[in-house]
Amino acid sequence: MMKKIRMGMVGGGQGAFIGAVHRIAAFLDGDIELVCGAFSSDHQRSIESGKSLYLPEQRCYATYQEMLLSEAQLPAQERMEFVVIVTPNHLHFPIAKMAIELGFHVMSDKPATISLNEALELKTIIENNDALYGLTHTYTGYPLIKQARHLVAQGDLGNITKVVVEYSQGWLASKEDEASKQASWRLDKTKSGISCCMGDIGVHAANLLEYVSGITVTELCADLTSTVNGRTLDDDGTVLLKFSNGAKGVLLASQIALGDENNLRLRVYGDKKSIEWSQLEPNTLWLKSSNEPTQMIRAGVGQMCDAAQQALRTPAGHPEGYLEAFGNIYSNFVKQIRAKKANLVCDNQLFDVPGIDEAIRGMAFIENVVTASQSNEKWQAFKIEQNLILESH
């Protein structure tokens, strides 16, 4: 008899936006149950958050250390099987490290760690403990993003010549916006790391452009700005990019774009055709060329690639969005866990989940962008190495 996969959660308690999103996404297919949690650094709030989610009191923990140690002592058929980490960035690494070394799989919010050095160390820990690790780069879960990736990979666009990705929000446009819980830790470098805007949303854009285009960033030129007086971390930035195949591109990220909601937009240009996708209209993918009518590809209409097809949840015309894309990350992670439990090989191309390699490239992107912005040289090589950033200015 197949049973649900048991999940624990660190962070995401009362008043936390992203915790509820994770739970909705995890529960979407009925394959996962929440069995325990340490939901807040405030011990009482953590316990109360767990009770409000109908967890038994003995599995509402005051700290993540208590949770991980206690769960590891439970019988195998009762203990959680993986933990999801939805805390500020500075806690991602110590929680993931402890969980993996105690035998648990990990699903983490991005960025994976607070530094590239931690991400590289985490890869070694994962490999030494044979653990599964997932990173919620949510936008890779959209069916039409998977279809876009397929079109690029099979050569429909020809050779990729340019990539443009934009991610703009307006929720940090003023000093008053800093009062919220979500803003306060993102603007605190001891909790978020060396970047706010690039670390929070720029890294999503970088991941998406590499995921779809199939090419990787090799050089960059960056200009980061702290627009609002008194901020020490960036809230806006522009990055020029060079890619592994010789193509060039632009990445724009801003959290002070007043009036913009969650405006993520990707354009990939080849020498035959181009594609365009917007997160505000996620069920539409545009395929364009210079000598044929522009084609509008709609989610659920006609046959798509296998990865896009299995990511679809409803018939055509029934909108699917952020929560469903988030759910697809969890759904694929569950398939990987079940395959591992059964000693089977999972098709990780079909059931793909961003993992530690994407985590490392994400942290490298953040640190390379900050370094490039501080430099007077126009182009900086994209490096993945220890101690890339010695000091944040």
pLDDT band at 392 (very low <50, low <70, confident <90, very high): very low
Name the band, by pLDDT with cuts 50, 70 and 90, for residue 390: very low
* 193: in domain: yes
- The residue range of the domain holding 120 is 5-138
Asked whether residue 120 falls in the same domain as residue 157, the answer is: no
**Structure tokens belonging to residue 39:** 């939901």
- Domain termination residue (choose one: 121, 138, 155): 138
Give the per-residue pLDDT at 16: 81
Same domain, 80 and 163: no
Instruction: Report if residue 356 sits inside a domain.
Output: no
Q: Is residue 335 part of a domain?
A: no
**One domain for residues 164 and 189:** yes
Is the pLDDT score of 152 beyond 60? yes
Do 215 and 251 lie in a common domain? yes
- H helical segments located in 7-61: 17-27, 43-52
393 has a pLDDT exceeding 50: no
User: Do strands 105-108 and 133-135 pair parallel, antiparallel, or not at all (unpaired)?
Assistant: parallel
Domain boundary residue among 138, 163, 193?
A: 138
Is the Cα dihedral 326, 254, 146, 367 positive or negative? Answer: negative
In a shared domain, residues 163 and 98: no
Q: Is 356 helix (H, G, I), strand (E, B) or coil?
A: helix
**Domain closes at, from 119, 138, 157:** 138
Q: Report the pLDDT value the prediction gives residue 387, as an integer from 0 to 100.
A: 53
Tell me, yes or no, whether 197 and 219 share the same domain: yes
Whether pLDDT at 306 is above 50: yes
Q: Quick one: 25 and 172 in the same domain?
A: no
Q: Is residue 66 part of a domain?
A: yes
Whether residues 192 and 237 share a domain: the answer is yes
- Residue 386 confidence (pLDDT): 60
Q: What is the mean pLDDT of residues 335-364?
A: 95
- What pTM, to 2 d.p., does this model score? 0.95
If you average pLDDT over every residue of the chain, what do you get? 95
Structural domains counted in the chain = 2
Domain-embedded: residue 344: no
CA distances from 20 to 56, 142, 205, 271 (A): 19, 19, 23, 43
Residue 58 shares a structural domain with residue 161: no
In a domain, 348, yes or no: no
SS3 213: helix
Considering the domain architecture, whether residues 132 and 155 belong to the same structural domain is answered as no
Q: What is the pLDDT of residues 61-94, one digit of tens each?
A: 999 999 999 999 999 999 999 999 999 999 999 9
Q: How confident is the model at residue 353 (pLDDT cuts 50, 70, 90)?
A: very high
CATH number assigned to the domain comprising residue 272? 3.30.360.10
Whether residue 325 lies inside any domain: the answer is: no
**Which CATH number is 26's domain given?**
3.40.50.720
Instruction: Give yes or no for residue 242 having a pLDDT over 80.
Output: yes
Give the mean model confidence (pLDDT) for residues 334-347.
94
Half-sphere exposure of 97 (CA within 13 A, CB side): 12
Over residues 210-224, the pLDDT tens digits come to 999 999 999 999 999
